[in-house]
Amino acid sequence: MAYADEWALDMLYPPRCPFCDKVTEKSEPICPSCRKKIHLTGDTVCMWCGKPLSDKRTEFCMDCAKYKHHFIQGKAVWVYEKPVPESIYRFKYQNKREYGRAYAKEMAERYGTWIRKRQIQAVVPVPLHKNRKRKRGYNQAEIIAEELGKILGLPVYTDLLTRVRDTMPQKMLNQTERKNNLKKAFKTTKSSVQLQYILIVDDIYTTGSTLDAAAAALIEAGSKGVYTCCVSMGRGY
């Protein structure tokens, strides 16, 4: 049954390179020419959020040097530079759901060992408010999380965390406004979370305000520690 479902999904949403949108093989979701254009976050990154840094002697990015996070550590696959922003835009707003599999595969290949060493027990996507999900038709973070869970053999809880406030888009706000915008925006659907270590998944990391708010809700409900992993993030300089 699972094979039939996967076959049907491939027919509806055949694997496509998330950057040039050409149909690809499942074994190689990104075409060779596009892979040359994208930039991995690299090894010299902020020890807290994972933003790429230019100076190996620097431990934290500018944001993490000023603000504390609720999550323990974060990672991202690519730097938020062309052609990544265009790819994520199509994924979120133009129904290119098949990109989620490519993103998750890259995420698993890059950070699968890191995730296992953190003893992650479950994957949780950042939820959309019901109004926004109804309008868009799907939650892009949920697609990535479910694909990542399949690859790594981890349970995915799409209903553990809910967004109770329909907040303003974060891209329109500054750092302080982002944090205030997301205060009490998330809550758990269970009064007690019996998972010690959780991985929160999202598409883009900017300042970490969204992931912080989500992590705070999980920790308040009993989680011992939260890690994060995103498709892309900007540079920490």
Helical residues (DSSP H) of the chain, grouped into ranges:
2-12, 32-35, 62-66, 84-93, 99-117, 130-136, 140-152, 175-181, 209-220
What's the mean pLDDT when you consider all of the chain?
90
Question: Residue 113: phi, psi to the nearest 5?
Answer: -65, -45
76 versus 15: the higher-pLDDT residue is: 76
Check residue 230 and give its pLDDT.
98
136 lies in a domain?
yes
The total of structural domains in the chain comes to 1
The stretch 175-198 carries a mean pLDDT of 79
Hey, how many other C-beta atoms are within 10 angstroms of the C-beta on 27? 7
User: What confidence score (pLDDT) does residue 89 get?
Assistant: 97
Band the pLDDT of 1: cuts 50, 70, 90: very low
H helix intervals, 29-77? 32-35, 62-66
The band of 220, judged by pLDDT with boundaries at 50, 70 and 90, is very high
Residue in the structure block whose two tokens are 């999900």:
133
Query: Residues 91-98: what's their mean pLDDT?
Result: 95
Whether 168 has a pLDDT exceeding 80, the answer reads: no
Determine the average pLDDT of the residues in 216-233.
Answer: 97
Q: Over 60: is that where the pLDDT of 173 sits?
A: no
Looking at per-residue pLDDT, the higher value among 5 and 150 belongs to 150
Cα–Cα distances in angstroms (integers) from residue 191 to residues 32, 160, 187, 212, 217, in the given order: 47, 10, 9, 19, 11
3-class DSSP assignment, residue 93? helix
Per residue in 29-84, pLDDT (tens digit) is 999 999 999 999 999 999 999 999 999 999 999 999 998 999 999 999 999 999 99
In a domain, 142, yes or no: yes
- Which pLDDT band holds residue 3 (cuts at 50, 70, 90)? very low
Residue 92 lies in a domain: yes
- Residue at 29 is within a domain: no
Q: Which tens digits make up the pLDDT trace of 187-210?
A: 999 888 999 999 999 999 998 999
In a domain, 18, yes or no: no
80 in a domain, yes or no?
A: yes
Q: Is 198 part of any domain?
A: yes
Q: What is the CATH number of the domain that holds 209?
A: 3.40.50
Which range among 112-121, 180-189, 222-231 shows the weakest confidence by mean pLDDT? 180-189
Read off the tokens for 161.
Answer: 């965390």
User: Is residue 16 domain-resident?
Assistant: no
Strand arrangement of the beta sheet that strand 122-125 belongs to? 73-79, 225-233, 197-205, 122-125
d(CA 116, CA 176): 34
pLDDT at 191: 86
Domain interval for residue 195? 38-233
- Entry pTM: 0.89
Residue whose C-alpha is closest to residue 227's, from 144, 208, 153: 208
Give per-residue pLDDT as tens, 119-145: 999 999 999 999 999 999 999 999 999
